[in-house]
Structure 1
């Protein structure tokens, strides 16, 4: 019985690694400006997540009408959870931009 190589297990992870290389190179090559740019991108993702949550809630209300109390509570809870995630992403992005600005001022 022949034993399979463990390197074949890493093959499906290769595309994730290749996609993830770009932000790391961006931060490494551009320095504090790259960190600020990455922070702005994270803020944009947070805003998009929050808008998508509100859009899904409004779509359910408009298309299906007002649901029963339990279903409406579930939809509102899902919207609040996604909105909180968006706010956290926005806070992390703002912290990254602030860190980049402070680093640029002190290192520059």
Structure 2
């Protein structure tokens, strides 16, 4: 999420409902971790980028009538341009934050009783 470059965003959905959640900072965004930390594990080592660290996106879209071309077009429309991407993450917070994800809020567990 360009408007919240220091936040790992979880996108979850069940049926017609989708929600986004700020799950904390990226390893690369932590001040005490200028390079890949050893405790990040082998998967992080494989995905570590010299400029962006562990920042990245993985999405899986499933459904009986999911249209792959439509999903691809929607996601392509969300991508940053090359110019925007290489302007540096310091400029990303200037992008609109439509979900308010760059401003974490306290949550509490819901009662299941």
What TM-score bracket applies, with the shorter chain setting the length? under 0.3
Larger relative contact order (CA 8 Å, sep ≥ 6): 1
Query: So what's the TM-score if we normalise by structure 2?
Result: 0.24
Which one has a larger percent helix, Structure 1 or Structure 2? 1
Which one has a larger percent strand, Structure 1 or Structure 2? 2
